[in-house]
Structure 1
Amino acid sequence: MGCTQTKVTDTADSGQLKQTKEKPTKQSKNKNGKTTDVEILEPVKPKATYANYLSSYDGKVKNESACSLRGVTFMQNGDLVVADYKNNKLKLYSSKFEFLAELELPSAPWDVCQAADNADDILATVPYKKEVHRITVSIENNKERLVPLSEFRTEGFCWGISCFDGGIATCVKVSVPEKAWPKPPEFQVHIHEFDGTYRRAIMFDANSVPYFKEPKYLNVTYDDLFLLISDYKQNTVMCMNNEDELIFSYLGMKSPNGIAMDENKNLHIASFFGAQRVHKVGPNGKYIDGLPHDEDRPLFPHGICYRRKDKIIVMTTDQSLEVYKLV
């Protein structure tokens, strides 16, 4: 699912930003004695601008007056697929970010990922239909098209999605019966087979405490060993192994959104908030660097993805694709 294969137990090695030029996250204890995060204090300043701005592309096409781009993923061939939440569409772009095709869905899509079992297929979540759709990229008359293949139902509203060689992971918000006992948490991460068959839910840690408050985006590491979850309300990005054990939690960013990973197993985490709108985090959960917020070009990123061949990062905002290059 690429983090590290060693479980982090030492606080100084975890994602709690215990570095010399950084302040730790302020914490307090609730009435049950559990430590909870109160305030996120990100590093004072990045060590350097680790990614340079290259270009921006308008997300609107044809007769659209507005758009709202959310999830984004690179395909194996370098093409890009974006979920347009406002226009109920998936949009396909070439490796040079030229608009190629679109597909209208029955409701607003949130996130997209490439299917692990077929390099030509895309998986997209459609939250208010409680569905995951499988779409393929095909070529007809020398033009690429997005063609729907199938869909499956989820147990609740589905948001983030990621795919690994063993199946599909989705963030879901389930309906919890008022009299249910023991009462499951409302927000969960579900694992499905490639055909959509429900396998299991990730809900609690070893002490039966719910893991999540509002997970919104997912990713998996290159080696498929670890699952990455950004929890918007918990101000946390989690790295978990296949036994649902927490490897580390990164606590240095307010309301994290999309997560990308480069070939060195560094995470690139996007957020609307803070002096740095992208944090670069190492495979052990430590902050490495940040992308400073530019007041002349304000950046409010939702999704983020990385293309290895040219070290390109693409972020989605409501209205645009923002392209940066690692340096």
Structure 2
Amino acid sequence: MASNFESSIHRGCDFIHDYSCSPCEENGYNTEAQHYCTQCTKHYCQDCVSKHNGLYQKHALLSRKDVEKWEAAPGVVDALERCEMHPGEALKLVCCDHDQLCCSVCVAVEHRQCPKIYPIPDGKGIQRSIEFQQVPKKMAELQKQLEKMKEARMKNTMSLKKTRAAISDEIKTIGKKINEILDKIEKTVFKDLDGMIAKLENNIMRDIETCDTMTIKLQNMIAAFQTKAKSSESKSYIAYRKSHNMILQADEHVRGISTIECYNVTFQANNLIEELLSSMKTFGAIEEQTVMTKQRKDPNSDPNHVISVSEYKKYNVKMSDDEYQCEIFGICEMPTGDFVLADGKNCELKLLDKDYRELDHYDVPEIPWDVCHIEGNEVAVCVCNNAYRKGLYFINAAKGDFVTTRKLSFDHDCIAAAHHGGQLYISSGTALYVYTMTGQKVKMLYEDKSDSRTVRKCAISNDGKKIYITNNIGDQLITVDSIGTKLAQLTDPDMKKPTGVQVTPAGHVFVCCLGSDIVMQVDKDGKKKLATLARERDGVYGPHGLFFSSRTSSLIVGGVKCTLLVIRLI
């Protein structure tokens, strides 16, 4: 039992405490402090505090319920030097790989694989530097800006309340108008109903009057026929003729009235009104509008402005259980800032956090030739086995829960994919196809069957009017419009076996080249090279995957040698 206990509190474990027991820490163990002694200025766990109390019975102790007082007590790490992640620990180290200040717990838990961990420098001469002296001024200016922003937001809150009242009045007016229309329709219907009932009642009264009149006439004729018809032949003849005419007249009325059994009225409701109203969920669209602050024109907003590089950083993405050296074929970024890499050599997806550290991985049945983000946590992975599978795997790439949600199969190879405007752009190696999200082919946008890999990867401009295609075998960048018409064909001595291509929201176009180990920028029309941004000496090794992150304004390049190169742009 003792060995188990020691292994659970050893400093090498991953338990993180806001305050660690001072005696335990001195002996190489990591246990959580439950008490603080104001005289000793040390923290104690439950076991160590009993020994302390036996030696120092008059010392004042602060328990966990007074933990807020620990921070103000002597001996506790100063707030400026305190680690934000582990408040009981002092910042003593710097991770140059992630450009972060660290405490000992940070290094043990989060940066254990980082090779460039150094003590915090003494900062000699920093107080005389201009940057150091300008810090209070800059913070004061930011404080004023924040106060102004707060005031503006307070005013914004009042204006929203007024907007709410105005829109409410407008909605009530619409409701009142609709009710007035319904009342008018109701009155019209009742008017028609009353008119129809009155008409039928008149018909009934007329039939009743006819029956009464004919009944009286028949009664009188019967009386006359019985008393006078036999008095003489001539009177009998007259009685017979009048009675016969009376019978014919009465019979005609009986037949006319008996053809109508009764009068009735029915109502057939117009269900279209109810269906139309029930299908409407609102009187109109309530839209959120964000008014952006006018900014000075940024030269980087010009798609032909030559982009500069501020730094290159290389990250090793080989995982402990990878069988082979990594070969990154595709890269995409998630809404969380995490990255998904398609490792073709190890047949897996790698999930990295925003600092490019390993979070998880997922084995893919076939070689993943490319990966692109769809929406939310969903990515689409291109798989292509000439004998069996040719299509896309849609995968939910949440940490610890990689799930294949659906699949699409094609009758051609599938070596690259892009998602734009709710449609999929699929490269077969010699053609570029457009598909719906359900897998229905829309059209073949472009084809070049002169050789294999004439259509390697593609990128679509933000407005969808230009599609850039890398011709890997022909050392070319092809630009076509949205209907497939070729607009440009770029060749350049440095453009050898181009693979990945990316377009920024501002329209900057970047290409990586497998044959020349470079990353270049080309103009928005795809007609000329503007600059070379990175070479082999900067960390470009056999590049396949290229991705632009708007979040960090960086180009992420993946290739061989298990290296991910991050190029910071300015």
Task: Give TM-score scaled by structure 2 length.
Answer: 0.42
For 1:188, give the aligned amino acid.
A
- What does residue range 205-216 of structure 1 map to in structure 2 within 5 Å? 214-216=454-456
Q: Does 1:322 align with 2:565?
A: yes
- Which of 269, 272, 279 matches 2:520? 279
Hey, what's the Cα distance between the residues in 2 that align with 1:48 and 1:260? Answer: 15
Task: Give the whole-Å Cα distance in 2 for the aligned partners of 1:166 and 1:155.
Answer: 22
The AA in structure 1 aligned to 2:467 is: L
Residues 321/196 of structure 1: CA separation in 2 closer, same or farther (3 Å cut): same
Once residues 538 and 478 of structure 2 are traced to their aligned partners in structure 1, the CA distance between those partners, rounded to angstroms, is 32
Report how far residue 214 of structure 1 moved. 2.2
Number of positions where the alignment pairs a residue of Structure 1 with one of Structure 2: 258
The worse-fitting range, judged by mean Cα deviation, of 286-295 and 150-159 is 286-295
Superposition CA RMSD, Å: 2.5
Q: Say which of 374, 381, 389 aligns to 1:124.
A: 381
User: Which amino acid in 1 is paired with 2:432?
Assistant: V
- Consecutive unaligned residues of structure 1, counting only runs of 5 or more, are 1-46, 174-186
Candidates 413, 417, 421, aligned match of 1:165: 421
Larger radius of gyration between Structure 1 and Structure 2:
2
Higher RCO (C-alpha 8 Å, min separation 6): 1
- Mapped partners of 1:144, 1:165: distance in 2: 30
3-state SS in 1 of match to 2:457: strand
SS in 1 for 2:331: strand
State the secondary structure of the residue aligned to 2:414.
Answer: strand
The CA distance in 1 between the partners of 2:462 and 2:336, in whole Å, is 17
Q: Residue in 1 aligned with 2:397?
A: 137
Give, in whole Å, the separation in 2 of the partners of 1:76 and 1:220: 19
Q: Deviations over 1:75-101 (max 9, x none)?
A: 233221110111111111111112112
| Shift in Å, 1:250 | 2.2
Rounded Cα–Cα distance in structure 2 between residues aligned with 1:48 and 1:169: 28
The two structures have a TM-score, normalised by structure 1, of 0.72
Q: More helix by proportion, 1 or 2?
A: 2
Q: What SS class does the counterpart of residue 214 from structure 1 fall into?
A: coil
Comparing both structures, which one devotes a greater share of its residues to strand? Answer: 1
- Does the CA contact (< 8 Å) of 1:120 and 1:137 recur in 2? yes
What's the offset of the Cα at 1:69?
Answer: 1.3
Whether 2:372 is the aligned partner of 1:79: answer no
How far apart in 2 are the matches of 1:69 and 1:114? 16
Equivalent runs, 1:88-103 vs 2, <5 Å = 88-103=347-362
Poorly superposed stretches of 4+, deviation over 6 Å: 209-212
Displacement of 1:213: 5.3
The letter for the 1-side match of 2:566 is V
- Check the 8 A contact 2:341/2:349 in 1, yes or no: yes
Q: Name the counterpart of 2:136.
A: none
* Matching residue within 429, 437, 441 for 1:198: 441
Instruction: Give the percent of matched residue pairs that are identical in Structure 1 and Structure 2.
Output: 19
Mapped partners of 1:212, 1:86: distance in 2: 21
In structure 2, the residue matched to 1:60 is 318
Shift of the 87–247 alpha-carbon distance from structure 1 to 2, 3 Å rule, reads same
Per-residue CA deviation, residues 141-165 of structure 1 (Å, 9 max, x unaligned), is xx55322111111122211110111
CA distance in 1, matches of 2:369, 2:443: 22
SS state at 2:456 partner: strand
User: Map of 1:169-188 to 2, 5 A cutoff?
Assistant: 169-173=425-429, 187-188=430-431
1:70 is aligned to 2:329: yes
After TM superposition, give the deviation of residue 229 of structure 1 in Å. 1.1
> What secondary structure sits across from 2:551 in the alignment?
helix
Decide whether aligned partners of structure 1 residues 295 and 307 sit closer, same or farther in structure 2, where only a CA change above 3 A counts: closer
